[in-house]
Amino acid sequence: MEVKSIEKTQKEFMANGHKYFLVDKIPVSRFKEYEKLVPRLTFGIGFDEIFTSLKKAYSSLNTPQPKPLDAGIIIHNLMNGIADVNNSKRVHPALMMAALVINREGEDATKYDEQTMLDKVNDWTVEGLDMMSFFDLSLTSIHGFRETLVKYTQTQAEMLIKGEDKKAKV
């Protein structure tokens, strides 16, 4: 089977026998889920993130007044992030984010239902759709999405580096 792309200009596409529509609005119920996905997408586990987090944990322990709790939180978040990457049932946050703004024909766009989102991702997987299409679609489908994501990512990264975000999940 050949990998299929979804073009940025497409407003609809078929996947696994279902018709899908791209939307440019997101209701509050789905935006709440979107907010949860942003840190998972932006703080995914990569070598740079692992190094930066470990450096921060090391620094927390090697100061005149060590902060073992801070170091423990950072290391715990790293462990969770690494474990999540190895989870065979893990669904990439970009796909779940795309599922918030790509609606299946007949779907109630005002509601958030995790199983519906997972069913959509399954349709896209069965259809053999290109993963990069979902990054592009997510970034271009909501007005202001890209700007919001960039601003949020920069703010969160700055807070993490400064040690202000004690609840940051990797």
What are the pLDDT digits (tens) for 68-107? 999 999 888 888 777 766 677 778 888 998 999 899 999 9
Output the average pLDDT for the chain.
81
Examine the domain organization and report whether 103 and 128 are in the same domain: yes
- Rg of the chain over CA atoms, in angstroms? 18
Last residue of a domain, one of 58, 90, 122: 90
In a domain, 121, yes or no: yes
pLDDT of res. 41: 66
In a shared domain, residues 70 and 117: no
Q: With beta carbons less than 8 A apart as the criterion, state whether 128 and 4 touch.
A: yes
Whether pTM > 0.85 for this model: the answer is no
How many of the other CB atoms lie within 10 Å of CB of 71?
A: 18
pLDDT at 44 over 80: no
Tell whether 169 is covered by a domain.
no
Q: Angle CA(51)–CA(54)–CA(55) in degrees, nearest 5? A: 80
Of the candidate ranges 40-54, 86-100, 104-118, the one whose mean pLDDT is the lowest = 40-54
Distance, CA of 105 to CA of 62 (rounded, Å): 56
Q: Are residues 121 and 138 in the same domain?
A: yes
Q: For residue 71, what are the domain limits?
A: 44-90
Same domain as 117, residue 75: no
In contact, 137 and 21? CB cutoff 8 Å: no
Q: What is the pLDDT of residue 147?
A: 65
Q: Report the pLDDT value the prediction gives residue 164, as an integer from 0 to 100.
A: 56
> Is 100 within a domain?
yes
Residue 52 within any structural domain of the chain: yes
**Bigger pLDDT: 165 or 52?**
52
In this prediction, residue 168 carries a pLDDT of 44
What is the tally of structural domains in the chain? 2
- 37-41, 78-82, 127-131: segment of lowest average pLDDT: 37-41
68 and 117 inside one domain: no
The pLDDT of residue 169: 45
Residue 31 domain flag: no
Domain co-membership, 99 together with 154: yes
- What's the average model confidence in pLDDT over 143-161? 66
